[in-house]
Chains A and B, each alone.
Chain A
Amino acid sequence: MTQRTVLDAPDITRAITRIAHEIIESDKGSDNLVLLGIPRRGVPLATRLADQIAEISGGETQASELVGSLDITMYRDDLRGGSYRAPEPTRIPSAGIDGRTVVLVDDVLFSGRTIRAALDALADLGRPAKVRLAVLVDRGHRDLPIRADHVGKNLPTSSSERVNVSLAEIDGEDAVTISGGRE
């Protein structure tokens, strides 16, 4: 088993900064934004993005009013199989999501099933004006017609490889590594 690092801590910080700028640019400001991280590692990523956006927009917006979490456990299509999953928190900023631009934030985009579930979950919470998707890594191999609007790094992988994202808030360090796969 080999493991190689594809993004180190400075790479991740740079990627987040770039995505934060892209989001503000595409939405022409931060007034109407809501960033919803998908547990677990989407949540710290969304928080970091919100901090950056708040900083870039010069303190007009409080980061805490921009960011929330969106648990998709109850919307998965594989709940019967596998092991039991405890649901994670869903926290929506007090202003809600109706008429706003929601950016879903996740660590890795792979099959697209998580995002499909997130769109379903979002529809039960309200009616956003727009929904966009930001991911740290897009590794390809989609099962569904879903694409990301903001990508930290496109990472060609084989489907047997494993992409591991570590974030300081959860794992104690920032890194993206690839392991496994047929050699």
Chain B
Amino acid sequence: MKHLLDTASLDREDAVAILDIAEEMALVSQREIKKLPVLRGRTVVNLFFEDSTRTRLSFEAAAKRLSADVLNFSAKGSSVSKGESLQDTIQTISAMGADALVVRHSGAGTAHRLAHTGWIDVPVVNAGDGTHEHPTQALLDAFTLRRALNGFPASGPVEEGPRGRGLDGAKVAIVGDVLHSRVARSNVHLLARLGADVHLIAPPTLLPWGAETWPVTIHYDLDEALAAEDFQAVMMLRVQHERMHESFFPNAREYARLWGLSAARLAVLPAETFIMHPGPMNRGFEISAAAADSSRALVLDQVENGVSVRMAVLYRLLTGQEETND
């Protein structure tokens, strides 16, 4: 494993290995010194062409807990906005001595491109590329689900956690704007590969053409799906308000009524069904406050686990010189 660009090409063995390392990383948070020296003297560059304070902070915390030096490069106000090419930006960063790149970009495939052009020869982590993939988000979702579904605390240090396991047999619903969601794409591949039974629930306008070829079951009607299936977890996707201006659905009210996780729908969910959301949430739109704040919501656990999972990914990519399979 040289890069982490997507979950589509991540095999089960590597995925479970990352989740298991993340379990070890979660234990560091209870130690006197919440830091490991493993990446001391290495430089991780966070290259964010698109704003995302949450994801950047999570990667920054992960790198720092592994003692790496972190350089944050935000494209806003930088030379990129003045017309500098991607190639020049990357070669400049390479000249400064980066040991790993964490890349967020509004265009699908940018991390993949950086990993394969030869402009820079370091591990590349995709921190979200357009509407393509967001592999570390899917890994932290899988980590959180694996904990919760096996009866462990959903976040925090757990000495004997669910190591070595996948998500075999878990029935998971992903609800909402699948079309524009890199989180959904990464989760579809990863959760399915870990053995989960993945269901997508969305209006047809918000499903990609051809989604029926994915390893998922598709539903258009949320109430019918919730009535027909016993989901162990329901993952609500963020829906951007501007989509209604592009005729993906008539208006926010209708969307919330038909596809939002309302208090009424929360009430009919089985008591043991977990609720997830990649954040930031639009309360009252795709998710009600009642659902977001319920004891079954794993939203904050997801955020907490993000640091452990990203530590595991950086550790996996930056130590040792394994044969590249990418």
Query: B37 to A75, Cβ gap below 8 A?
Result: yes
Residue numbers in A under 8 Å from B315 (CB-CB): 74, 87
Q: How far is the CB of A92 from chain B (nearest CB, A)?
A: 9
**B320 touches which one: A71, A85, A90 (CB < 8 A)?**
A85
**A81 touches which one: B33, B38, B159, B321 (CB < 8 A)?**
B321
B residues 1-58 near A (Cβ < 8 Å) are 17, 20-21, 24, 27, 31-33, 35-38
- Is the interface on chain A under 10, 10 to 19, 20 to 34, or 35 or more residues? 20 to 34
**A86 touches which one: B17, B37, B66 (CB < 8 A)?**
B17
Query: B320 to A83, Cβ gap below 8 A?
Result: yes
Cβ proximity bits A61-90 to B, threshold 8 Å, 1 near / 0 not: 000000000010111000111111111011
A143 within 8 A of B: no
A126 within 8 A of B: yes
Residue numbers in A under 8 Å from B283 (CB-CB): none
B residues 258-312 near A (Cβ < 8 Å) are none
Query: B24 to A87, Cβ gap below 8 A?
Result: yes
Q: How far is the CB of A68 from chain B (nearest CB, A)?
A: 10
Q: How far is the CB of A94 from chain B (nearest CB, A)?
A: 10
Closest residue to B24 on the A side, CB-wise? A87
Query: A124 to B17, Cβ gap below 8 A?
Result: no
Closest residue to B99 on the A side, CB-wise? A80
A132 within 8 A of B: no
A residues 34-79 near B (Cβ < 8 Å) are 71, 73-75, 79
Q: Could you tell me how many residues of chain B have their Cβ less than 8 Å away from some Cβ of chain A?
A: 20
Query: B320 to A79, Cβ gap below 8 A?
Result: yes
Closest residue to B39 on the A side, CB-wise? A79
**Total A-B pairs in contact (CB under 8 Å)?**
53
Residue numbers in B under 8 Å from A87 (CB-CB): 21, 24, 315
A residues 88-117 near B (Cβ < 8 Å) are 89-91
Query: B38 to A86, Cβ gap below 8 A?
Result: no
Closest residue to B31 on the A side, CB-wise? A125
Closest residue to B323 on the A side, CB-wise? A83
CA distance in complex: A84, B315 (Å): 9
Q: Which of A74, A82, A83, A120 has the most CB of B within 10 A?
A: A74
Residue numbers in B under 8 Å from A73 (CB-CB): 38
Given A86-B17, A86-B20, the answer on whether A80 and B321 have CB atoms closer than 8 Å is yes
Query: A124 to B38, Cβ gap below 8 A?
Result: no
B319 within 8 A of A: yes
CA distance in complex: A74, B67 (Å): 11
B322 within 8 A of A: yes
Query: A83 to B321, Cβ gap below 8 A?
Result: yes
B316 within 8 A of A: yes
Query: A74 to B321, Cβ gap below 8 A?
Result: no
Query: A74 to B21, Cβ gap below 8 A?
Result: no
Residue numbers in B under 8 Å from A85 (CB-CB): 319-320
Q: How far is the CB of A88 from chain B (nearest CB, A)?
A: 8
CA distance in complex: A75, B21 (Å): 15
Residue numbers in A under 8 Å from B316 (CB-CB): 84
Residue numbers in B under 8 Å from A80 (CB-CB): 319-321
CA distance in complex: A127, B32 (Å): 10
CA distance in complex: A83, B321 (Å): 5
Query: B38 to A75, Cβ gap below 8 A?
Result: yes
Query: B27 to A84, Cβ gap below 8 A?
Result: no
CA distance in complex: A75, B159 (Å): 20
Query: A91 to B31, Cβ gap below 8 A?
Result: no
Given A79-B319, A81-B321, A91-B159, the answer on whether A86 and B21 have CB atoms closer than 8 Å is yes
Residue numbers in B under 8 Å from A74 (CB-CB): 36-38, 66, 315
CA distance in complex: A125, B32 (Å): 5
- Given A84-B320, A125-B32, A126-B32, 19 other A-B residues pairs in contact with their CB atoms under 8 A: A71-B24, A74-B66, A74-B315, A75-B36, A79-B319, A79-B320, A80-B319, A80-B320, A82-B321, A84-B321, A85-B320, A86-B17, A86-B20, A86-B21, A89-B159, A91-B159, A123-B33, A124-B33, A124-B37
16 A–B contact pairs at CB < 8 A? A74-B66, A74-B315, A75-B37, A75-B38, A79-B38, A80-B319, A80-B320, A80-B321, A82-B320, A83-B320, A85-B319, A86-B17, A87-B24, A90-B27, A124-B37, A126-B32
Chain A residues near B (Cβ < 8 Å) = 71, 73-75, 79-87, 89-91, 120, 123-126
Chain B residues near A (Cβ < 8 Å) = 17, 20-21, 24, 27, 31-33, 35-38, 66, 159, 315-316, 319-322
| 10 residue pairs, one from A and one from B, having the closest CB atoms | A84-B320, A124-B33, A74-B38, A74-B36, A79-B319, A87-B24, A84-B322, A83-B320, A126-B32, A84-B319
